[in-house]
A and B are shown apart, each in its own frame.
Chain A
């Protein structure tokens, strides 16, 4: 487990040396240290320094955080819905964010507006699902899941409508590219919200991870163990929604990770959330860094992340399944 948590950090450092512009590993380390020791990076071209500090570091860091965030929220959602086929999008957050981004691309264009609108509509979608489910009183989880699917498809239709009216030379490719997910446009000033919300969220999930075990037993058992299941679930949904919304608002729609990373984690350490949560965080971060490295280095143009997660993830999962000996 410790190793899996170290893995993303190792990959983070390796990834900084990857790219078409060749910078040797010692140079990368010197550049990384240059904000603390200003003289250490003397002799390295300014453009290489800018490239590492302003382009590669934020991008790889974003990949790490977003992957970790999807891993954690996926695990949490699967636990509280007691359903292994659930991912971070179960309450429609991704669909809502996609619609928010598309409408902002169509009307305004500036990147921070797109990000804000995606975030806001992600929250709107989840609120709709959540309060919609309150209309029907019994078996709240089932209704909540249903509402999530309904709200998700509602926003998907709206997004399709926007794509239909969008300018095919201008806005349409931008919307399509956004919906496929990409970390091309990451800069430090866009990272603030991601870093703050994701780190707090990951920390909370880390602390709450044992409660996920209780919740996954069922409401009666949880109550008998002194945990208020409803309150706990609402809190976890709230944290996970914020985390997913901020991740989606930055990276665009990256499916698959939140669904499969928890399964991969379960194949490695089994279903105990005390171990599963850290492993999902580590695996998610590592996987995302890996995928984004391919996306930015393989071809002259960017490959959308949403395309790659499946292409790289499925073979990895098959290897895991073949090797798995642990209980699900």
Chain B
């Protein structure tokens, strides 16, 4: 071994001596030193530049998002509270110590304890006045009426709601407080609500979630849609959105939620990407992601709860909405239940109103993708929607995801209706204005439609998809059911997104091109 090594190094020496004159070799050593110096200099310079870059980047990509996000939601609350206390002072200044309560409350005896806690938490130093009838505020067990579209009231404890009995501003404020995270905190402190809930997400992981849930990062567009439609948007600190990437979607989203521009962070958090450093800055209590996200391992290392959702079928979607309701507290839970009831209501009503259609009478539907020759498979949510709307998906035998087919296959299917999605540059014209497609009955009859959207496309598995079913049944069987896109859209966005959708917007969405 030792011998080998020596002989090896000797060979090298003789070789280099043979090649170069000794003096030259010496000069070479000097140059080598110089060379090393340059290399190191370059590395150090690059490191400095990079440190500079990071600093600049953190300045450019706003750090203040964080502060704004923390500051913004409480600002309203604080102002409100201050207003209240100012009112208080004024009242007391004008009338001395007011013995008159702000409003009267009717409550079951079991509810009087929690109501008192809430009342004392909101109007400091005051006690509530309970009466038996003609109260300004009624706390009662919620009654579900299973006819027509569901409604939901301010649910402050599971199964119990607060109903206003007068128009008083204090009553409204009190109700809002009772269902806000602050009000929920009061009830948790009083032992009326659990401080921690355990839940199993749709990837099968069980997690413990602190109540009331706040500071949520939603790293998956459909998850964000669900959070919005169960009235929990105030809990978000950053979110990925579906359909809000273009100016049109973004402007609607901004009307739905003024915080949208600061919340939108698809660059940082999406199904493909998760910027863990940015997440650490936001200090979230919960991260919601898709079970198919590729970033799960690393996020686990931060020690933050991660809820993974997987909603690709109607059943899974309902389950997801239900789980979200459980996580976000009693009021969101009631709203989630209302959404599930509405979904069931639409599906059963459509089935009832259509009666028994024979397979021959059913409309054959082709759902195409971002390219006209790309069609939805039977495994996709779009197929479930077509079936819920009483149609038959001609491409239901295909498996997997979007499938590429040729025009001959589509001609064999001969669909009655073709639906194109509202994303990825898909357009009705790409089909109707192409000469080859004229051979199809659907094209000849002008029955090629584009699926609408408000923000999220109505064919993505999210809360809005129920609107997609309503719209589809109207296209498939005009006049056969009592549903209209216009009236359901008005109900849906007012009820679940608390968004006063304008007549023009409804007309634009439901307009058939």
Show the binding face of A for B, using Cβ within 8 Å: 1, 3-4, 7, 11, 14, 17-22, 45-48, 50-51, 54-55, 109, 111, 167-170, 173-174, 177, 184-188, 190, 210-211, 213-214, 217, 225-227, 267-270, 272, 274, 286, 290, 293-294, 296-302, 316, 319-320, 323-327
Quick one: which of A226, A294, A297 contacts B7, CB cutoff 8 A? A226
Residues from chain B with Cβ under 8 Å of A14 in the complex? 47, 51
Q: In the bound complex, what is the Cα–Cα distance between A54 and B275 (angstroms)? A: 15
Interface centre among B31, B36, B53, B303 (most CB of A within 10 A): B36
Beta-carbon contact of B50 and A323 below 8 Å: no
Judged by a CB distance under 8 angstroms, whether B197 is at the interface is: no
Quick one: which of A190, A214, A267, A298 contacts B11, CB cutoff 8 A? A214
Beta-carbon contact of B278 and A184 below 8 Å: no
Binary flags per residue of B167-186, CB closer than 8 Å to A gives 1, else 0: 00000000000000000000
Judged by a CB distance under 8 angstroms, whether B491 is at the interface is: no
Judged by a CB distance under 8 angstroms, whether B438 is at the interface is: no
Q: In the bound complex, what is the Cα–Cα distance between A35 and B328 (angstroms)? A: 36
Judged by a CB distance under 8 angstroms, whether B400 is at the interface is: yes
Q: In the bound complex, what is the Cα–Cα distance between A187 and B303 (angstroms)? A: 13
Beta-carbon contact of A50 and B303 below 8 Å: yes
Residues from chain B with Cβ under 8 Å of A293 in the complex? 50
Beta-carbon contact of B43 and A11 below 8 Å: yes
Residues from chain A with Cβ under 8 Å of B300 in the complex? 187
Interface-facing stretch out of B157-165, B224-232, B241-249, B265-273: B265-273
Beta-carbon contact of B280 and A51 below 8 Å: yes
Judged by a CB distance under 8 angstroms, whether B412 is at the interface is: no
Q: In the bound complex, what is the Cα–Cα distance between A237 and B278 (angstroms)? A: 42
- How near does chain B come to A307, taking the closest CB pair, in angstroms? 15
**Can you show 7 pairs from A to B with CB atoms below 8 A apart?**
A4-B39, A20-B57, A20-B58, A177-B272, A227-B4, A268-B36, A297-B277
Binary flags per residue of B16-36, CB closer than 8 Å to A gives 1, else 0: 100100000000100110011
Q: In the bound complex, what is the Cα–Cα distance between A170 and B50 (angstroms)? A: 33
Interface-facing stretch out of B122-130, B291-299, B339-347, B385-393: B291-299
Closest to A209 in B: B8
Beta-carbon contact of A326 and B35 below 8 Å: yes
- How near does chain B come to A158, taking the closest CB pair, in angstroms? 19
Beta-carbon contact of A54 and B301 below 8 Å: yes
- How near does chain B come to A275, taking the closest CB pair, in angstroms? 9
Q: In the bound complex, what is the Cα–Cα distance between A109 and B308 (angstroms)? A: 15
Q: A21-B280, A225-B4, A272-B16 are in contact. Are A177 and B303 (CB under 8 A)?
A: no
Residues from chain A with Cβ under 8 Å of B205 in the complex? none
Q: A55-B298, A111-B297 are in contact. Are A210 and B9 (CB under 8 A)?
A: yes
Q: In the bound complex, what is the Cα–Cα distance between A132 and B301 (angstroms)? A: 44
Q: In the bound complex, what is the Cα–Cα distance between A50 and B301 (angstroms)? A: 7
Q: In the bound complex, what is the Cα–Cα distance between A263 and B121 (angstroms)? A: 72
Closest 8 pairs between A and B when the two form their complex, measured CB to CB: A54-B301, A300-B267, A20-B277, A21-B277, A301-B273, A21-B280, A19-B277, A210-B8
